Structures are given as C-alpha cells and as structure tokens.
Amino acid sequence: MLERSNSATLILGMSLILGLSSLGFLVGNAALSVKSLERSVTVKGLSEREVQADIAAWPVSFQVASNDLDEVYKTIETKSAIIKKFLTDHGVPETDISFSPPNITDLYVQQWGDRANIKFRYTGSGVVTVHSEKVNAVREAMSNTLELGKLGVVIAGDQYNQGSNQFLFTRLTELKPGMIEEATKNARSVAEKFAQDSDSRLGKIKSASQGQFSIEDRDSTTPQIKKVRVVSTVEYYLSD
C-alpha cells in the first residue's frame, strides 16, 4: 500500500515538473514574441515652405522742437498729414493708416539740466502707423523715405531695419494640413530606408507627435519672405 502511495506521489511530482516546464516554455516564447513585436524605430520628418508676408506694420516716427508750444502741435499735425499723403501716394489705403497722440516734453520742468543750454524748450514726437495687407506698397514707401526728407520730414532712426517694423504671415492655418502630411511622408521614407538597411519590415505607426510650427525670416535682408517649418516625430513597429 505504501509503495502505491509513493508511486502516485512520484507520478504527481513528475507531472507537476513537466507542467511547469511546459508553462515556462510557453511563457518564454510569448515574451520573445511580445519583445519582437515591440521592436521599433523613431524617425523625424521635416516640412518647410517659403511664403510671402501678408501683413506689413510700419510705425513712421518723427520729432520736432520749438520754443512755442502751439507751433509744436501744428508742426506735428502738418508733418503727419505729409506722411499720410506720402503713404497713400505709394498705394497704402487711408484705412490702413493711424495716428498716435503727440508726445510733448517741456524741458523747463525737468528737474535736471541748465536752462541756459536748452535751445528749444519744447520737444515733440509723432507716430504715423501703417498696418496693411498691401505689403509691396509699404515696402516701396519704405525704400523711398528720402522723399519725405525733401518734404521737410526727417524720420527718426533707421525706419526700414529697426525692430519695430514687422512683416507678418497670418495664413498658417491654410498650410498646416499639407505640411503635416509632407512631414509624415518624409518620416516614413526615412523609416523605410532604415528598415531596408536592417533587413526588417516596416510596420504600423506605434506613436506620433507633431512639433510646433515656426515662422522665421528667411534672412535678415528680406524680412518680407518667411520660412515656415514643422518637424513630426513618428515611431514605427519593425518586424523580421
């Protein structure tokens, strides 16, 4: 009777060992299979466009000086009118032109300085601002500011190159779908080349992320030409 019990115990033990071994083999194969499925490659795809700015913003500033306050105001008004006509003569619509309130300083009320050395008591500045879709018209006006000098208006600073002048591109939404598609195609081309070189096959997309769109000047001499750029990051499965 004892021998039968020992035999049964031995058979049960061997069965458990074989069962666990088989289970371990299956689990190991499953792990290898999952690991194989998780082989992947991460690539980046680039899309770039060169576009023309569709908005030009140009603050035209000037300064005046006099010992007569009333004359300062009248001079600012006169020069603002001259600038406005100059702009409209170059094709800028009147509706795209605005005027800032004049800024007047009385040097006599300053708490510093010697009045004896002050040639003009009052100084004033005016700003005529252009915000227009007529980009080429604004650029032409910018390049002809010497004409204003001949009319008695001296523009403050280098008006074409100063940082306050802006050329903007506002139609990014129209470009986004095509650029995202192009960036994704470029990423896939890179992934396919990688798969080919590694004797693998390219599978489905595991994950993807779209980078931020950037809009920059193409270069410092042509601020009206913009470079739009986006980079997409895509991860693909690989298989043998």
Residue 15, pLDDT score = 54
Give the mean model confidence (pLDDT) for residues 144-162: 77
**The pair of three-digit structure tokens given for residue 36, joined into one six-digit string:** 């194989």
Residue 163, pLDDT score = 47
First to last CA, the chain: 58
Residue 154, pLDDT score = 87
Residue 118, pLDDT score = 84
pLDDT in tens, 80-111: 999 999 999 999 999 999 999 999 999 888 76
The domains of the chain, with CATH numbers, are 35-54+169-240 (3.30.110.170), 55-168 (3.30.70.2970)
Looking at every residue in the chain, the average pLDDT score rounds to: 85
Res. 56: pLDDT tops 80: yes
Residue 114, pLDDT score = 72
CA 133, 134, 136, 142 torsion-angle sign: negative
Strands 55-66 and 122-132, sheet pairing: antiparallel
Nearest-angstrom CA–CA distance, 39 and 25: 22
Longest dimension (CA), the chain: 132
Residue 7, pLDDT score = 55
Most confident of 16-25, 85-94, 100-109, 146-155: 85-94
| Secondary structure class of 240 (helix, strand, coil) | coil
Residue 85, pLDDT score = 97
Measured from the Cβ of residue 205, the count of other Cβ atoms closer than 10 Å reads 15
Nearest-angstrom CA–CA distance, 162 and 198: 53
Q: What band does 17 get if pLDDT is binned at 50, 70 and 90?
A: low
Nearest-angstrom CA–CA distance, 161 and 156: 12
Burial of 19 (0-12, 13-18, 19+ CB in 10 A): exposed
Nearest-angstrom CA–CA distance, 56 and 133: 6
